């Protein structure tokens, strides 16, 4: 599992140097007339051995430190509950309004702020999702690819609090969200969670492409529609049949388009923060399937430990040198 590696293995040519301290002690020699008269002493032999090993160890540790010893980055297969999920967030300017359709004042919360708060809670909950983030307004914004790094996802979600940009162009956003998923089959489910407060007409070209991709990639789609008070819902049919077209009621037609995709699809209409919370809890509950995913453990530099070991060994050698008999 662990995999050790060096950045500059050419330093290892210095390894024979580690034999030097084993051969000679770094102390000045004191002439002695006859060894046979020196009493055998265990403590002295222990000090002798420790000095030799400290010398060899110091050189070895310095060499390993200089050559950049590290543990390589590796991936672990883990099984968890969650899904591959792309959060597709609406960054249109209207998201900065409150649910009442006004610029938030006083204690009111804007739609984007509510969505940010609740989605943050959703992401930091104990799920093992692979989450990607994409946003769209007039054009799609690539924010974050699929990752298990929760901090990055949270940061991307927090970015929703920044003021919105312009229009709502949902088909390009969907296309981008779908492009996050590769062609390979996956163990967990693939989800696109679309959070928007409006919709736009899907042009025929995009429609064809989206139909194909949704089908091919096996996507499950959730749409949380943040309904502003007084606006049209996605489920209600207009009273006036003349109004029943994509230009007048883009939300309804987008819903119809999604329903006709023949994929698992659910739409929620959230008229306030609580409704949004319920919708998110619903998604959370439904998408709890076993998921096998690979977690990347980043590279770990071990140079600091090498240098620490070398420093300790050298400290012992210096101490021994200070204890040397002066002649």
Partner 1 sequence: MKRKEFHYRLAWRTDSVQPGAHPSRQGGGVHAFQRLVPFQAHPDPRRLHLRASLGDPAGHFWVRLHEQRGRIAVFALADLSASMGYRGRVSKTAVVADFTEGLALSSNRTGDAMGFVGLSDRSAPDFLLPPTRQVGAALKLAERLRGFRPTGGSARGLLHAVRYLPSRRGLVFLLSDFHFPLGFLKQVMESLAHHDVVPVVLWDPEESAPEASGLARMQDMENGMERLMWLRPALRTRLSQTFLERRDRLVAMLRGFGREPLFLSGGFDPDAVTRYFHAG
**Judged by CB under 8 A, does residue 314 bind partner 1?**
no
Which span sits near partner 1 by CB under 8 A: 37-45, 89-97, 140-148, 243-251? 37-45
Q: How, if at all, do strands 219-226 and 189-196 pair?
A: parallel
Q: Does 7 bind partner 1 (CB under 8 A)?
A: no
Identity of the residue, 7 or 48, whose beta carbon is nearer to partner 1 in the bound complex? 48
What is the spatial distance between Cα 239 and Cα 162, in angstroms, rounded to a whole number? 37
> CB atoms < 10 A from the CB of 278, how many?
12
Selected from 6, 12, 27, 141, the binder of partner 1 by CB under 8 A is: 27
Query: Should residue 324 be labelled a site residue for partner 1 when binding is judged by CB under 8 A?
Result: yes
Contact 254, 90 (CB under 8 A): no
Stretch that binds partner 1, among 19-27, 60-68, 184-192, 286-294 (CB under 8 A): 19-27
323 part of the interface to partner 1, by CB under 8 A: yes
Contact between 53 and partner 1 (CB under 8 A)? no
List binders of partner 1 among 287-306 (CB under 8 A). none
What are the φ and ψ backbone dihedral angles of 100, each rounded to 5 degrees? -85, 0
Is 43 a binding residue for partner 1 by CB under 8 A? The answer is yes
Residues 138-157 binding partner 1 (CB under 8 A) are none
Complex with partner 1: residue 17 or 27, whichever CB lies closer: 27
The sign of the dihedral angle between the CA atoms of 196, 199, 200, 202 is positive
- Determine, following the binding rule CB under 8 A, whether residue 158 of this chain makes contact with partner 1: no
Q: Return the residue of 3, 48, 203, 301 that touches partner 1, per CB under 8 A.
A: 48
**Of these, 1, 8, 10, 33, which contacts partner 1 (CB under 8 A)?**
33
326 binds partner 1 per the rule CB under 8 A: yes
C-beta atoms surrounding 55 within 10 Å: 25
Give yes or no for residue 44 binding partner 1 (CB under 8 A).
yes
Closest by CA position to 89, among listed 143, 147, 134: 134
- Residue among 220, 224, 219, 198 at smallest CA distance from 278: 224
Q: How far is the CB of 57 from partner 1 (least distance, A)?
A: 17
- The verdict on 8 binding partner 1 (CB under 8 A) reads no
First-last CA distance in the chain: 54
SS3 151: helix
Half-sphere exposure of 64 (CA within 13 A, CB side): 22
State the Cα torsion 220-226-232-234 to the nearest 10°.
Answer: 10
Residues that bind partner 1 (CB under 8 A): 24-25, 27-39, 41, 43-45, 47-48, 51, 320, 323-327
């Amino acid at each position: 599992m662990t995999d050790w590696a060096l950045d500059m293995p050419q330093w290892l040519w210095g390894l024979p140097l580690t034999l030097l301290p084993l051969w000679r002690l770094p102390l000045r020699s004191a002439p002695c007339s006859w060894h046979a008269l020196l009493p055998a002493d265990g403590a002295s032999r222990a000090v002798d051995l420790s000095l030799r090993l400290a010398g060899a160890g110091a050189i070895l540790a310095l060499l390993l430190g200089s050559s950049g010893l590290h543990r390589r980055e590796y991936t672990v297969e883990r099984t968890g509950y969650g899904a591959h999920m792309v959060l597709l967030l609406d960054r249109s300017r209207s998201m900065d309004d409150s649910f009442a359709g006004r610029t938030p004042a006083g204690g009111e919360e804007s739609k984007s702020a509510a969505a940010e708060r609740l989605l943050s809670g959703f992401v930091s909950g104990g799920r093992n999702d692979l989450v990607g983030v994409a946003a769209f307004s007039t054009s799609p914004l690539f924010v974050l690819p699929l990752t298990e790094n929760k901090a990055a996802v949270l940061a991307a979600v927090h970015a929703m609090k920044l003021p919105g940009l312009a229009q709502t162009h949902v088909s390009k956003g969907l296309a981008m969200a779908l492009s996050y998923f590769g062609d390979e089959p996956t163990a967990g489910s693939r989800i696109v969670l679309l959070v928007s407060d409006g919709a736009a007409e899907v042009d025929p070209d995009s429609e064809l492409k989206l139909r194909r991709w949704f089908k091919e990639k096996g996507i499950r789609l959730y749409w949380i529609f943040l309904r502003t008070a007084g606006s049209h819902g996605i489920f209600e049919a207009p009273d006036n049949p003349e109004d029943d077209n994509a230009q007048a009621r883009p939300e309804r037609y987008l819903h119809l388009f999604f329903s006709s995709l023949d994929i698992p699809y659910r739409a929620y209409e959230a008229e306030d923060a609580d409704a949004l919370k319920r919708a998110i809890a619903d998604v959370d509950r439904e998408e709890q399937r076993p998921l096998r995913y690979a977690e990347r453990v980043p590279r770990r530099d071990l140079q600091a430990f090498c240098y620490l070991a070398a420093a300790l060994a050298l400290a012992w050698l210096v101490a021994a040198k200070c204890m040397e008999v002066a002649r």
